[in-house]
Amino acid sequence: MKKSNLGLSPGDAEAVVKEAQQLLARQLDSSARRRFLRQGLTLGGVVMLTGCDLRETPDVDSVLNSFSRFNDRVQGWLFNPASLSPEYSADRIAKSFPFNAFYGEEDIPQVNGEQWRLEIAGLVSDKRSWSLPQLYNMQQVDQITRHICVEGWSAIGRWGGVRFADFLKLIGADTTAKYVSFKCADDYYTSIDMASALHPQTIMALSWDGRILPPEYGYPMKIRIPTKLGYKNPKHIQVIEVTNRYTGGYWEDEGYNWFGGS
Ligand SMILES: Nc1nc2c(c(=O)[nH]1)N[C@H]1C(S)=C(S)[C@@H](COP(=O)(O)O)O[C@H]1N2
Ligand SMILES: [Mo]
């Protein structure tokens, strides 16, 4: 079957355009709607629209929000659980890896690893909490991948830890649930789609560059997801919840796209 530029089949593309038209019809006033419809809404138009300047329209926030949630669904459809993020050789690892958080380095949480327990909530059969040694004792995998931050930097690093799919299986997670959400020691939070949670490169990272994960990069454990942007890689995890409830995220609730594919 011939694929459009987006990698959608013609049937999918038609559905995307139709849905965008319905969104527009619901959310733009009649003059703005006429303007868009006069120009004719093509798939290219929809793509442009999601990034174009809508400041003139009466209810910009709700239009952009709908398009962002719509964009989540398109990314969800396009996400291929079998396609891997590039992995690199050790000589490509960044010499100095950036620290980033919604605060400065002086406020990095100092988590006590001996007292730390990972709490498990939601749609799982085994809700027992986890200590750090228990996680260190599970089978570990390693990856050298690129972290991409929307603030305009990217860096290749090495992370090691437990494959998240293995962990979810072990705790008896309902993998038909829609989301996995995370709460962190610093009030950061985010959530991801189940397909990305089960992706083979999504790991509970316990190490960085061959040593215990340092405080600045998320000690004692962060979720490393190379198929997603930096803000979808939560550090200092305290609670993991499997849920069908949409819980958003720290930056997502400020308007960053929720799916956040990289
Ligand atoms: N707990 C927590 N996780 C977080 C953040 C944060 O502020 N707090 N910032 C996110 C953002 S925007 C980025 S780019 C990466 C930065 O990770 P690094 O410090 O390991 O480079 O962490 C992500 N995860
Ligand atoms: Mo980021």
The CATH number covering residue 148 comes to 3.90.420.10
In a domain, 67, yes or no: yes
Do the Cβ atoms of 87 and 146 come closer than 8 Å? no
Which pLDDT belongs to residue 70? 79
Going from the Cα of 100 to the center of ligand 1, the distance in angstroms, rounded, reads: 5
**Predicted TM-score (pTM) above 0.75:** yes
Which pLDDT belongs to residue 68? 81
66 and 186 share a domain? no
In a domain, 124, yes or no: yes
- Averaged pLDDT for residues 142-166: 96
Question: Which one, of 89, 88, 81, lies nearest residue 200 by Cα?
Answer: 81
Residue nearest (by alpha carbon) to ligand 1 atom 21: 99
User: Which numbered ligand comes closest to the C-alpha of 234?
Assistant: 1
54 and 99 share a domain? no
Most confident of 37-46, 54-63, 159-168: 159-168
Residues with Cβ–ion distance below 5 A, ligand 2: 149, 230-231
Q: How confident is the model at residue 28 (pLDDT cuts 50, 70, 90)?
A: low
Give the residue ranges of DSSP H helices in 86-149: 132-136
CA distances from 42 to 14, 76, 79, 170 (A): 9, 21, 22, 46
In a domain, 62, yes or no: yes
62 and 175 share a domain? no
Do the Cβ atoms of 242 and 123 come closer than 8 Å? yes
**What range defines the domain where residue 222 resides?**
90-254
Question: Which one, of 127, 131, 126, 140, lies nearest residue 113 by Cα?
Answer: 131
CA dist., res. 150 & res. 211, Å (int): 27
- Averaged pLDDT for residues 84-109: 97
Do the Cβ atoms of 251 and 231 come closer than 8 Å? yes
In a domain, 233, yes or no: yes
User: Which numbered ligand comes closest to the C-alpha of 208?
Assistant: 1
180 and 215 share a domain? yes
- Averaged pLDDT for residues 124-134: 98
69 and 115 share a domain? no
- The per-residue pLDDT of the chain, averaged, comes to 86
Mutate which of 107, 159, 188, 232 for ligand 1 pocket (most atoms within 8 A of beta carbon): 188
Residue nearest (by alpha carbon) to ligand 1 atom 20: 217
Query: Does the pLDDT value for residue 131 go beyond 90?
Result: yes
Q: Which residues pair with 241 in a beta bridge?
A: 121, 181
Going from the Cα of 260 to the center of ligand 1, the distance in angstroms, rounded, reads: 14
Which protein residues touch ligand 1 with a CB less than 6 Å away? 98-102, 149, 184, 186, 188, 216-217, 230-231, 233-236
In a domain, 259, yes or no: no
| The two structure tokens encoding residue 241 | 């919840």
Question: 43-51 and 30-39 are packed helices; what angle lies between their axes, rounded to 10 degrees?
Answer: 130
Question: 60-78 and 10-27 are packed helices; what angle lies between their axes, rounded to 10 degrees?
Answer: 160
Going from the Cα of 73 to the center of ligand 2, the distance in angstroms, rounded, reads: 22
184 and 56 share a domain? no
Helix (H) or strand (E) holding 204: strand 203-208
Which pLDDT belongs to residue 56? 46
Q: How confident is the model at residue 255 (pLDDT cuts 50, 70, 90)?
A: confident
Going from the Cα of 106 to the center of ligand 1, the distance in angstroms, rounded, reads: 15
> Total domain count for the chain?
2
